[in-house]
A and B are shown apart, each in its own frame.
Chain A
């Protein structure tokens, strides 16, 4: 019996067509081994960092540093979620850049871009579906990261012999963690979208991964030198990414010394949260708009 294909009615709405492509993109990411590997890496980092901090907190030193108390607090249950989000914001950003850049860039590497573009209603929908599906997996990764961080906190609390006291879990605490979850995603966005943009510009996953991660690590080094220079140069970092990311990470309720994100807080004055939201938002929008513009305008050749 011959089965006739009956492609969906072309009068369908924007959203129904987009839904199909998102479904296809999620299927691809779900089946891709790299997605699971990245999640395992994130889990591994959170587990290792927690165990290392536990080991450090248990070492008996002749003259313990000022931060040893902060480390012990960091392993406590109240800091479990903000600490996990702090790790997600730093290491998770790197993994998210790899996920999104390879999702977009490998379409060029594998030459599947042409096969699948002609199977999608529009380039806009194709790219939107890629972003949304990668976003879904990044959110899943963040939730897993928080869950693993909390479980590790339970384990380190048990191993460390600390008290299991859940009195901190008030409504306002949970609301603060909920807000910090979305703030963490927000601070990751510029790096994610930069990786996305560069994988489109470079027609490969590598430019996206290299640029996204490169900016993530190099910018903090460069801005340190800018701060040291003083004058108007010292104010430039306020309009770059790192200082604004740190400003929003500092809103997390982490022990002293860790407020500016994992690795310690900045000794410099950070921009205001409003400034940080606006600056990071502008960067994200510019990277996003450029990505869509270039993808739409450019010929897709071999």
Chain B
């Protein structure tokens, strides 16, 4: 499938912009010419296989990793010239929540609050309450379950009332109820005019939560588009015909057929939405009559697997 890049024209409210961002680790090109934009109120899914460059990108945004070339703008200013003023407007969990095991949840947030400055104890209580952790706030972090650690991580991102929230696998380790809570929380945060950058492997969660998605593979963005647009690219039609070889020959020359494969007695083709009638007509004109024509519901997982070539374990 071809690269899919589609961004809104509206340049207002861009909180994060990367321009030709590159990072090399020795000979390894971890991130190649990355161009991303993230706006207020947007939940932006940042997807990719393991080692694709997601965490490296997040590290560069947060100033933990020095880019090899390219630039990062945060809230309209170059990151390198206004790192701290930008960072104080960002809340982030990087890869996994990380806190001091001997401190309680409360004390961990207290340490963060002391470092950042200007954050009251009321605010600590408020963010802990928001993630339903206030009643366990005095327990040592080392004794927290994975789900509680994730909640504390999310609470820490909210501590400074951020305009940009970066969440890396926020539902990792959560039980179904906890996952749902976080899934419900993310759109609410976005509704408060915050921008959310969500890195996740749970594509179903991303599909339910994000309104825009970028897919990165081997350091290169291979798709960056509104979720609906991206899902439409993954539309598939399942056709059952008697003369399968002949049908395949007819279909594969059509310019708008993006993929074609055999699955048992069916031909499965990638097509734009609502193409069923056109396909039926073309085949009928050639004297081929489909006994079944089924529109496959596209999922982000299908699109992701097609784009990243992970479907066959590649």
Q: How far is the CB of B303 from chain A (nearest CB, A)?
A: 27
CB <8 Å contact, A114 and B98: yes
Chain B count of residues within 8 A CB distance of the other chain: 43
Q: How far is the CB of A2 from chain B (nearest CB, A)?
A: 7
B256 on the A face (CB < 8 A): no
Chain A count of residues within 8 A CB distance of the other chain: 38
CB <8 Å contact, B117 and A7: yes
Binding site for A on B (CB under 8 A): 55-56, 59, 62-66, 83-85, 87-88, 90, 92, 94-103, 107, 110-112, 114-120, 122-123, 126, 156, 159-161
Q: Which of B66, B97, B98, B100 contacts A299 (CB 8 A)?
A: B66
Q: Which of A4, A17, A110, A300 contacts B64 (CB 8 A)?
A: A300
Q: At the interface, is chain A mostly helix, strand, loop or mixed?
A: loop
CB <8 Å contact, A20 and B64: no
Q: Which of the segments A24-32, A77-85, A219-227 contacts the partner chain?
A: A24-32
Q: Which of A9, A112, A300 contacts B65 (CB 8 A)?
A: A300
Complex CA distance for A112 and B98, rounded to whole angstroms: 5
A274 on the B face (CB < 8 A): no
CB <8 Å contact, B114 and A301: no
CB <8 Å contact, B59 and A301: yes
27 A/B residue pairs, CB under 8 Å, sorted by A: A5-B123, A6-B118, A7-B116, A7-B117, A7-B118, A7-B161, A8-B117, A8-B118, A20-B116, A20-B117, A21-B114, A21-B115, A24-B114, A28-B103, A31-B103, A110-B98, A112-B99, A115-B99, A115-B112, A118-B63, A118-B87, A119-B87, A299-B59, A300-B59, A301-B55, A301-B56, A301-B59
Known pairs A24-B115, A118-B87 / 17 extra A-B pairs, C-beta < 8 Å: A7-B117, A8-B116, A10-B84, A20-B116, A21-B114, A24-B114, A27-B110, A32-B102, A110-B99, A111-B96, A111-B98, A112-B99, A114-B59, A114-B94, A115-B97, A117-B64, A120-B115
Chain A residues contacting B122 (CB-CB under 8 Å) are 3
Closest 5 CB pairs of A and B: A8-B117, A24-B114, A111-B98, A5-B161, A8-B118
Complex CA distance for A215 and B229, rounded to whole angstroms: 63
Which of A7, A10, A27, A302 has the most B CB atoms < 10 Å from its CB? A7
Q: How far is the CB of A299 from chain B (nearest CB, A)?
A: 4
A116 on the B face (CB < 8 A): yes
CB <8 Å contact, A299 and B64: yes
CB <8 Å contact, A4 and B94: no
A230 on the B face (CB < 8 A): no
